[in-house]
Amino acid sequence: MQNKTLFDSKKFNTFAQKLRGYVDGKADTPFEYLVLILIVVNTISLGMETSRAIVEQHGRLLVLVDQVCLLVFLIEIGIKFIAFNREFFAERRIDEKTGEHFLHVNYWNIFDLTIIAISLIASLSYSPFLRTFSVFRSIRVINAIRSFRIVKTLKLINNVTRLRTLLKAIVGAIPNIAWTFSLLAILAYVYAIIGTHFFRDAFPLFFDGLGKSLLTLCQITTFDDWISEIARPVIAVYPWSWLYFATYVFLTAFVMMNVIVGIIVDSINTERENKKVEKDISLEDISSQIQALHEEIAELKKQLGQNTSTTI
């Protein structure tokens, strides 16, 4: 007789593989849609808890919603542990281009586990035993820890294609934006030195030193009531200073900001074009594979016909 073990690894691996399709983060199953909806609901409830009036009227309901969301998130992380098994934190993959093996870190799994662990610490504070400790007696500490769960809304970026494309485009545009900001910083530095030398005696509140001058120029760049508070009083004393303010506003607020917007738009268009190319390539690969299969089937049929005629 063969020894039958209670644990069948093959069946477990098959089950885990099927289960993985429900929590792979692609938002293509009812369970993943439920999790996304609860993330939104939990985010709204955490925002409502910032209102004292709402907490006084519906405090118990908000706590119940919070606990239900936490329970579903715990179930999700438990399913992920079973589905990913040893590959929960990282897994070995093969590069399609080079064929080399590499270690792929599952950052979203680690992110989820961290957020759930923090939320659990906050939820445990409601137990009478833990509330004997001074740390857990503070409602502010509890709410501060629980508020970390709002970071889970970032998971929406991974599951919504348009948001993911936008984020990739912004991240791709960061180097060019950084160079633009470097140029903007140099420009502000030059104007701050000029403003300090010309206006510090009459307007020490705005131009007394490099730091104050840079802060004033920052206010001008953001259009924060700069005309009535800064520009008009300075122009009243120094009539030619309109040229100073006009050139700075034109170069920073109009030229530089439009350059930054242009960089982001260009990056978004590039990302969309790359996606289209990837889709075209994948379609070409599928069609070529289908064509190769047709050729192999035709070759097999030919060989079968030859073998049949030889046998006869």
Do strands 101-105 and 90-94 pair parallel, antiparallel, or not at all (unpaired)? antiparallel
- pLDDT score at 189: 94
How far is CA 55 from each of CA 44, 45, 120, 135, rounded to the nearest angstrom?
13, 10, 21, 22
Angstrom distance (rounded) from CA 120 to CA 306: 70
List the chain residues with pLDDT less than 70: 1-8, 24-28, 96-97, 122, 124-151, 154-161, 276-289, 292, 304-312
- pLDDT score at 196: 92
Say if pTM beats, i.e. exceeds, 0.85. no
- pLDDT score at 186: 92
Q: 22: which residues sit within 8 A by CB, 6+ positions away? A: 29, 31, 32, 79, 83
- pLDDT score at 308: 60
Where do runs of H (alpha helix) occur along 49-102?
A: 52-84
- pLDDT score at 307: 61
Angstrom distance (rounded) from CA 273 to CA 267: 10
- pLDDT score at 1: 44
Angstrom distance (rounded) from CA 286 to CA 288: 5
Angstrom distance (rounded) from CA 210 to CA 191: 10
Nearest to 119 by CA among 136, 143, 137: 143
Q: Specify the DSSP class assigned to residue 7.
A: -
* DSSP code string of 237-306: H-GGGHHHHHHHHIIIIIIIHHHHHHHHHHHHHHHHHHHHHHHHHHHHHHHHHHHHHHHHHHHHHHHHHH
pLDDT in tens, 215-225: 999 999 888 88
